[in-house]
Structure 1
Amino acid sequence: MSDYLQYIAEKDKIDFFINKGFRIKDVEENLEGAFLVLEMNDGKKDIPHEETLHIKHADSRKYFASLIIKQQRQES
């Protein structure tokens, strides 16, 4: 898979969860990329639903960093 296609695939996964109402909860970075933990609490359950994505491409990591900044601005 080309670099661009890998970036688009990872970006699409992130966008899919964000559009479903998930919020970025945590990021753990290591030499293999970043593990992005997304959380959704729809108010129906006491326990929020979590998903973890393994993000490898550097441009995808820049993309979710911009989403974190946007999310923090909306919270304040």
Structure 2
Amino acid sequence: MSEYTQYLQEKDKIDVLLNQGYSIKSITENLSGAFVEFERITGSTITSETLHILTADARKYFSVKLIHQ
């Protein structure tokens, strides 16, 4: 799989979670990528999802989304 294709898949996953009402809660970066934790609060229920982001372009993308948040 090309890096661009992988970036598009990671970008789509980020967009899906943000469109479902999740917000970025925390980011943990290491040598193998970034782990982005998303959180959605509905009433008294807190739901969280974690994505493992590998590509540099997707890291830039979620950084921009975090600033806009």
Q: In 1, Cα distance between the equivalents of 2:13 and 2:49?
A: 11
In our comparison, the structure showing a higher alpha carbon Rg is 1
Partner residue, 2:6: 6
- List structure 1 runs of 4+ shifted beyond 2 angstroms: none
Using structure 2 for the length normalisation, give the TM-score: 0.97
CA distances 1:17-39 after superposition (whole Å, capped 9, x unpaired): 00000000000000000000000
Matched position secondary structure for 1:39: strand
Matched position secondary structure for 1:41: strand
Q: In 1, Cα distance between the equivalents of 2:64 and 2:43?
A: 26
CA RMSD of aligned residues (A): 0.7
Once the two structures are TM-superposed, the CA of residue 44 in structure 1 deviates from its matched residue by: 4.2
Quote the sequence identity (%).
Answer: 52
Partner residue, 1:19: 19
Using structure 1 for the length normalisation, give the TM-score: 0.88
Partner residue, 2:58: 60
Q: In 2, Cα distance between the equivalents of 1:42 and 1:12?
A: 23
Between structures 1 and 2, the one with greater strand share: 2
Stretches of structure 2 that go unaligned for 5 or more consecutive residues are none
Residue-pair matches, total: 69
Q: In 1, Cα distance between the equivalents of 2:18 and 2:24?
A: 8
